[in-house]
Structure formats: structure tokens, C-alpha cells
Amino acid sequence: MAMAKMPAVKLRAAKTPAVKRENSRGYRTFQIFNALILTGVVVVTLYPFATIVAQSFSSDTAINAGHVNVVPHGFNLTTYKKVMSDSAFWTNYRNTVLYTVVATAISMVLTTCYAYVLSKRHLKGRKFLIGVALFTMFFNGGLIPNYVLVADLGLRNSIWAIVLPNAVSVFNLLVMKAFFENMPDELEEAAAVDGLSTYGTLGRIVLPLSKAVLATMVLFYAVSFWNSWFSAFLYMDRSDLFPVTVYLRNLIAGATGGADQGTASDTALQIGANIQSVTIVLTVIPILTVYPFIQRYFVSGVMLGAVKG
Amino acid sequence: MSLTRTVDPPPRAERARPVKARRLTWRRALRRDWQLYSLAVLPVAFFVVFRYLPMIGNVIAFRRYVPGGSLFGEKWVGLRYFKMFMQDPAFWHVFGNTLILGGVTLLFTFPLPIMLALLLNEVRSAKLKRFVQSVSYLPHFLSIVVVAGLIMQLLSVNGAVNQGLHALGHDPIPFLQQPGWFRAIYVSSEAWQGVGWGTILYLAALTTIDNQLYEQARIDGAGRWRQTWHVTLPGIRPTMMTLLILNIGTFMAVGFEKILLLYNPLTYPTADVIPTYLYRVGVVSGSFSYGAAIGLFESVIGLFLVVAANRISRRAVGTGLW
């Protein structure tokens, strides 16, 4: 599925068009406007981060007086010290790391196995197996039946409530399937001649040649698990099990417990804006540090997924 | 003038190979490929348990469910829960909200990436282009909780936006407490988060447009605007249609998690949508069957929308998801 009739494209950013673009005065004016608009896009994108960082270094009183914009006012590190000395924050942060690692590992195993199976064109029943996955993209059970199921299986307040219901992303599955399909058949035929079993071929021939796509998939899963909060919010009510996103959610919603009404209200103001800002910064930092390195993998992953599967 | 290009599929070795006429029976297939099938067991189990079981679990919309009782409810009650929400004015209120919010979101978040992609495509400095791209993808990688936190800080009474208003001599506005602002806030945050990421597929499609077409258009005397209109836009039309269908399919789901984080009883009049409403009646108040009925109604509409959009798209432009 996905992008019908969209040719596979190599994604090496910004190839300058081979057409010599004319240099009329109108076009030059346009170029200037274009540069201004794009600068505007950059500024608008980064501005909220700048204010949060500025707030995280500022005192609560300066923020409440409306003095803090993109420059910290009353620069200090006490808020960072305060948040980082909160043991609940670290417990939740550790949970996030643990959930992300375990969930990503399980997702990778399931997705890789299934994608490999689906990539074998000769396999009887392949269409059906693909359909099993594809249909779930367009129709899902919905919140309540999922909730009832997880509760019934006794997964509440355990890591499995986060890991299992989201173990396979159909989009990622299609990306990997497309990648495996593009591998030359000869390789695997040679492996079969050498007497390797299917498992052996997958483990010793195919996977070592798929490092790029595997890395991409790990990143896709890891970022989505790192960022997720709703499963934990829904299925957990012990605060020592929360991931850091739920910690942050309770901070900004001014809530104290887990399974409350889920409303963000005025009471959010009770927790200092500086503390909220610091928690936001600390939650985002891991993503921001790896972002420059992982970004292009994401882009190429999206492209792979766009090839008709 | 027809400018859409067709791409021939690469010739596949197996297509050239003459096919043996003998039909492959399941027994033979299993004997030959049992190792492959064995690899599919766990993933299929996942889909059955966590995707298809909940679909079947929707029967509790027609049955009375008792917490702690059977997954599939206790006894049939027919369309009782459907009648209940059909007669519930609160449901129709959130239904209307969902349509409005989904519609406005689609109206803004669908064309914006196209415009940005077209602008980026005109940038001649590769470095500048890459820089703008990198920055604009960034918000896509943030947790919704973080985005909600950023919005709350920006819009707080002492936040950056109100500082600007103050400088203009305006009284501070408690944006998140006023129903009149909610849609604007929600849609702008969706645009902020998604516009850059949304350009990826368009930019890729743009690089595949044949330069000869531009050459030709110029010989025909087309200026830059007309080149964009007659060459560029038709060139990315299949991508546009595909993304439009996908967007329409998620129309009813709206950004449930973000709304849940941003709304509050004061903004319910505009912010409360079907998913948040069913979350409150289903999970929070524990009316599981009632919630499931609403959810099923919503999923069916969603499925109907994708199918309809796909059909229209195939009719109109000859491209669809399937």
C-alpha cells in the first residue's frame, strides 16, 4: 500500500535543479521574499524552545512578573538542582529508559520476523498475511475494547501494558518489507545452496546487510516509545511506574494522582513555571542530542515507506 | 496537456521465469516453508490478540459489560447503547465539535506542507535548504506532552504571547481558559508540529519531475507561475492525493491526546470531541458499553471516510491507496 505510483527516490537533500532558472527581476524579488519567509519558519519553530530554556534558568518571580522571554532573567541553576534532586523524577526517568529499551527490542524482533516473511513473494498465503496487518491501519478496536482487554489480561500496572499493545507498527513493518523485497534474490539462493536454513539466511546473510534499515527502525520505535505517555497514563496508577512523560503531564496539569479526569486546569499555575520548564528541557534533551544524527535516517525511512509496498 | 508520468515497474526475475502449472497445496507449502511460517507465528499472535480481539471486543457495545466479568459482556441488549447516545444532546455537541475541529485542521495542515515544499524547492543554496529542513522537522520528534507544555508556557498569563499583547497595551488573555481560542490554538500547534515533516514526501516527489517538462513549458512561453501551475503541481498530484486520503481517514480521530492535555471544563464547549468524550464516559466514569458504542460508531465512520475518499480519488485523478 502507501504511495501509489510514486517512484522510489534517492533522498540526498537539495540537488540543485539542472534547469537554468531565469534571473528576471521578479524572480530575484521572489528569492528575497522566499528567504524571509523561510527565516520566519525557522524563527517560529525555534522560538518556543528558546523561551522554555530561558524560563528554566530564570527565577519564578521573574517569570510571573512577565520579564522572561528569550533571555533568562535572574539567571540561576537552583531549579535544575531542585528538579534533579527529586527522586520521583529520576525513578520515572529510569522507567522511560527501561520501557524504551525493552519495547524497542521486542518490537524489532516481531517487526523484522514478520517483514521478512511478508517479503517472500513465493509464500503461499502471503496476501492474507499482509492483509492481516494492513486492515488494522484503517480499522481499530477503539479505546474501550483495548482498555478492557489490557485490564482483563491483567497487564495493568506493568511494563507489558506499554510494550505489548503497541508492539508492531504497521508503517514500520511496510518499510522493512519494502527493504527486504529490494534485496537481490541471488544472495539468498546462494545461501540456500550452501545449506543454510531460513533462520540461518535471515540471521547470517540478510540482517547483516540490513544494518541501515535496522538502525532506522530502532530509531523510529525508540523515539515513539520515549515520547509516548497515554498508555502509561491509561493503564498505570502507581506513580513509581510512570514514565517521565506522565510525570511531566501531571506537572503541567497540576494533578497529583494518575487516573484522574485528565484535564489540564488552572491549578497548573501552582507548580512553578520554572520547574515545568526545567522538566520539559530535561525530557527533551536526549531527543535533541541525538536529533542531528538520526534525522536523516528518519527521512530515508519515510521515503522507503512511501514506495509502493 | 498531460504531464503525469508513469513509472514502469522494474522487471523482476521471477516474472520472466515460466511458472510451473502444478498448484501448490497447503501441505507442500507448509513442508517447504515451515520455517518462514514459524517466524510469522508471534507477529500474527500479536495482531490477533491486540488488534483483532479488541475489534471483536466491540460486541460489548451491544451487550452489557460488567467490569471484571467476561471480555465480551454478559447479555445482549441490542441497540440500547446506540439509542442512548443518539438521544444524548451532549453526544451531538461533541460530534459537531469533532467535525469542525477536524475540518479546520485539514484545511490548514494539508496545504501548508505543500506551500513550504514549493518554497524550499526554489531555494538555491543547498546548505540553507538543508538547514531550514532540519529545523522544521524538529517539532515532529517531540512528545505530545512536551508540546502541550510548550503551548501552556507560551500562552500563560505571563507568557511570551501575553508579553507581546502587553507591549501593545492590551490586557492579558487567559487563552487556554477561553473556548473562543481553543480551535485556533489547536490548529496552529498542529501546523507548527507537522508542517516541516509534511514536506518530506513532497520534496521527494518534486525531485522526480522531469526537467524537460520545465524546458518545454518555457519554450511555450510559460513564466515561473505558470510553470508551477502546469508542471510542478501536476507532478506532485499523486502524492497530494495519497496524503489527502490518509488525512481524511484520520479526520474523526482528531488529535485526541493533545486535546486531552490541553482542554479543561472551561473550554469543553469548543474543545470536547468524540474521543475525549468517550474517554470520559468510558474510562473515567466506567460506562464501558456506552463508550464502546460511541467508539464503534466513530471507527465505522472513519473506515467509511477512507473508502469513500479513495474511491473519489480514483475516479477523479486515477490514483488511490489501493
pLDDT tens per residue, range B281-321: 999 998 999 999 999 999 899 888 888 888 888 887 777 77
Q: State yes or no: ipTM above 0.90.
A: no
Residue A222 CB coordination number (10 Å)? 21
Q: B113 touching A, CB under 8 A?
A: no
CA B136 to chain CA mean position, Å: 19
Q: Which helix (H) or strand (E) is B75 found in, with range?
A: strand B75-76
Cα dihedral value B234, B237, B240, B245, nearest 10: 140
**The three cell numbers locating residue B128:** 540553507
Amino acid letter, B143: S
Whether domain B80-317 has CATH 1.10.3720.10: yes
Check whether B14 has a pLDDT greater than 70: no
Tell the CATH topology of A87-306: MetI-like fold (1.10.3720)
- Of residues B271, B272, B275, B270, the one with CA closest to residue B294: B275
Q: Note the residue count of chain B.
A: 322
pLDDT at B31: 87
Q: B50 touching A, CB under 8 A?
A: yes
| Residue A153, SS3 per DSSP | coil
Check whether B28 has a pLDDT greater than 60: yes
What residues of B are in contact with residue A170 (Cβ under 8 Å)? none
What residues of A are in contact with residue B158 (Cβ under 8 Å)? 63-66, 68, 273
Q: Are the beta carbons of A273 and B55 separated by less than 8 Å? A: no
Average pLDDT, chain B: 87
**Which regions of chain A carry the CATH code 1.10.3720.10?**
87-306
Distance of residue A251 Cα from the nearest chain B Cα, in angstroms? 9
What residues of B are in contact with residue A200 (Cβ under 8 Å)? none
Q: B214 touching A, CB under 8 A?
A: yes
Indicate which of A99, A128, A148 best probes the interface with B, i.e. most B CBs within 10 Å of its own CB.
Answer: A148
The percent of residues above 70 in pLDDT, for chain B, comes to: 93
Instruction: Give the nearest partner residue to A18 out of B52, B211, B320, using CB atoms.
Output: B211
Cα–Cα distance for residue pair A191/A14, rounded to 1 Å: 39
Amino acid letter, B224: R
**The three cell numbers locating residue A202:** 535471515
Asked if residue B263 lies in contact with residue A266, where contact means CB atoms within 8 angstroms, the answer is: no
Query: What are the CA-CA distances from residue A75 to residues A85, A97, B48, B187, B228 (Å)?
Result: 19, 30, 55, 34, 50
Q: Which of the 8 DSSP states describes residue A16?
A: P
Asked if residue A99 lies in contact with residue A243, where contact means CB atoms within 8 angstroms, the answer is: yes
Q: Are the beta carbons of B136 and A295 separated by less than 8 Å? A: no
What residues of A are in contact with residue B36 (Cβ under 8 Å)? 116-117, 120, 123, 198
Q: B296 touching A, CB under 8 A?
A: yes
Look at A48-52, A276-280, B140-144, B216-220 and tell me which has the smallest mean pLDDT: B216-220
Cα–Cα distance for residue pair A204/A198, rounded to 1 Å: 10
Strand partners, B75: B64
What residues of A are in contact with residue B133 (Cβ under 8 Å)? 13
Distance of residue A276 Cα from the nearest chain B Cα, in angstroms? 8
Place of cell 522510489: A8
More confident residue, A2 or B197: B197
Domain assignments of chain B as residue spans, ordered by start:
80-317
Instruction: Give the nearest partner residue to A41 out of B132, B150, B260, using CB atoms.
Output: B132
Per-residue pLDDT of chain A (309 residues; tens, 9 = 90+): 344 434 444 444 444 444 445 567 888 888 899 999 999 999 999 999 999 999 999 988 888 888 888 889 888 899 999 999 999 999 999 999 999 999 999 999 999 999 999 999 999 999 999 999 999 988 888 899 999 999 999 999 999 999 999 999 999 999 999 899 988 888 888 888 888 888 999 998 899 999 988 988 998 899 999 999 999 999 999 999 999 999 999 988 864 333 344 444 444 445 788 899 999 999 999 988 888 888 888 887 777 766 543
Strand partners, B76: B63
The per-residue pLDDT for range B51-102, each reduced to its tens digit, is: 999 999 999 999 988 877 787 888 898 899 999 889 999 999 999 999 999 9
SS (H, E, C) A227-262: HCCHHHHHHCCCHHHCCHHHHHHHHHCCCCCCCCCC
Closest chain B CA to residue A261? B284
What residues of A are in contact with residue B119 (Cβ under 8 Å)? 34, 37-38
CA B101 to chain CA mean position, Å: 13
Instruction: Give the nearest partner residue to B239 out of A3, A143, A167, using CB atoms.
Output: A3
Check whether B249 has a pLDDT greater than 90: no
Half-sphere exposure of B251 (CA within 13 A, CB side): 25
pLDDT at A262: 41
pLDDT at A22: 58
Cα–Cα distance for residue pair B115/B95, rounded to 1 Å: 31
What residues of B are in contact with residue A152 (Cβ under 8 Å)? 71
According to DSSP H, which parts of chain B are helical?
Answer: 13-16, 26-47, 53-57, 80-86, 89-109, 111-122, 126-137, 144-155, 160-167, 179-207, 211-219, 224-227, 233-235, 237-249, 256-262, 268-271, 274-278, 288-317
Closest chain B CA to residue A223? B141
**The three cell numbers locating residue B174:** 487567559
Asked if residue A137 lies in contact with residue A170, where contact means CB atoms within 8 angstroms, the answer is: yes
pLDDT at A308: 44
Closest chain A CA to residue B165? A66
Query: What are the CA-CA distances from residue A147 to residues A160, A165, B73, B260, B291 (Å)?
Result: 13, 10, 14, 17, 11
Q: Are the beta carbons of A31 and B122 separated by less than 8 Å? A: yes
pLDDT at A16: 46
| Residue A19, SS3 per DSSP | coil
pLDDT category, B255, cuts 50, 70, 90?
Answer: confident
What residues of B are in contact with residue A223 (Cβ under 8 Å)? 141
Indicate which of A144, A245, A274 best probes the interface with B, i.e. most B CBs within 10 Å of its own CB.
Answer: A144
- Of residues A211, A213, A193, the one with CA closest to residue A298: A213
Q: B118 touching A, CB under 8 A?
A: no
